[in-house]
Structure 1
Amino acid sequence: MAAPDYVPNETAVADRHYVSPPRRPQPWVADRPAELTDGQPTGDGLGVPGPDQGYALRLARRFEGQMLMAPGEQTADAIAGCVGVALKRAASFGRAPVSADLEVAFRVFGFLPPAPDELLLAWRKELFAGISHPHHYAEARRLAGLVPEAVLRLPPGEVEAACDAVRADLLTRR
């Protein structure tokens, strides 16, 4: 039954749930002070951005029981130093970190079997000392820069063979 004419009928307004905002006549432009208009900046100390980088810390915990630690070395220092290397590897492929990235990083510095030689242990102990402390960010960035990108691009199975030559080069750059 229809309502009489004197009864207000606003059903058309009540049925509308969404109203789009008014159209903007001007296009949006990046004109705020902190906008990156020329893309991601590059240079020393800026790193390589990549997606979901925090996941590398969770993946690193899986390696804690397998790591070869010398007396006086801290697992937290090894993880903090190698996570930067793993993130550099993952970002060079344009993806989030995976276990293979951490495996490569730990193998380069001799934290995974086979056991490293005494020279590498002494160098590594000095290089990784206290690096897990937040004030040692610059040292962690420098450590990530020590590993050549050619080594980072290798599959995990080929890294061990390449590490002997790379380690000798790294040890001479001290």
Structure 2
Amino acid sequence: MAAPDYVPTETGPANRHYVSPPRLPQPWLAGRPAELTGGQPQGTGMGVPGPDQGYALRLARRFEQELLLEAGEEVEDVIAGCLGLALKRAAAFGRAPVMADLRVAFMLFGYLPPAAGTTFLAWRRKLFAEVSNPHHYLEARHLVNLVPEEILRLTPDEVEAACSPDRSGFFAESTESIV
């Protein structure tokens, strides 16, 4: 249908509010002050980076009812202490944490069956005291450094089979040196 005579047929130039430049003057480069340029730094107290490490906290909460705690031990300290070890195990395999990582960490320190001996429990109680407090980061790192990587690479079944009441073979330093 044709337009009536009183309707204008010619339109004016479009009112453009934004016109992008024909090209970008320079490419964007990551030049932020905190940008890692040489890879992940390594050294004392740096930890072990791995993917999706926050998920380990959610997994650790599933063990709360199973943990074998002694008098004077707090669930928060146990989880905070074993969490770093589980994360180190997961990062050694290059993956996110899974239930097996936490099971190994809790078994190594005697918080899951088989039960540990009394000498070990006294050593463990001193080792885990107040680890959940953020001011005790170095103590939490010390817990992680106690277990060599070759022990962390064992399966949960191998760890459970190798657990004896004293468990001193799992740790880099003797359990009697702290008691």
| TM-score bin (small chain) | 0.7 to 0.9
Tell me which residue corresponds to 2:81.
81
Matched, 1:171 2:165: no
Residue 130 of structure 1 deviates from its aligned partner by: 0.9
Residue 114 of structure 1 deviates from its aligned partner by: 1.3
- Unaligned 5+ segments in structure 1 are 14-18
Comparing 52-61 and 156-165, the one that deviates more: 156-165
Residue 7 of structure 1 deviates from its aligned partner by: 3.6
Matched, 1:129 2:129: yes
Q: How does 1:138-149 map to 2 (within 5 A)?
A: 138-149=138-149
Q: How does 1:3-152 map to 2 (within 5 A)?
A: 4-8=8-12, 10=14, 23-152=23-152
Distance 1:9 1:48 in 2: 61
Write 1 or 2 for the structure with the bigger share of helix.
Answer: 1
Aligned residue for 1:138, secondary structure, equals: helix
TM-score normalized with structure 2 length: 0.82
CA deviations over 1:10-47 (Å, ceiling 9, x no partner): 49x7xxxxx87653343443433222111111111011
RMSD: 2.7
CA contact (8 A) 1:86 1:102 kept: yes
Amino acid at match of 2:82: C
Identity of aligned residues (%): 62
CA deviations over 1:108-145 (Å, ceiling 9, x no partner): 00000111100110000000011111111111011111
TM-score normalized with structure 1 length: 0.84
Residue 5 of structure 1 deviates from its aligned partner by: 3.9
CA contact (8 A) 1:103 1:156 kept: yes
The change in CA–CA distance for 1:61 and 1:22 in structure 2 (over 3 A counts) is farther
CA deviations over 1:85-115 (Å, ceiling 9, x no partner): 1111111112111111100000000000111
The change in CA–CA distance for 1:49 and 1:167 in structure 2 (over 3 A counts) is closer
Distance 1:89 1:108 in 2: 12
- Max radius of gyration: which structure? 2
Distance 1:22 1:99 in 2: 53
Amino acid at match of 2:23: R
Amino acid at match of 2:97: P
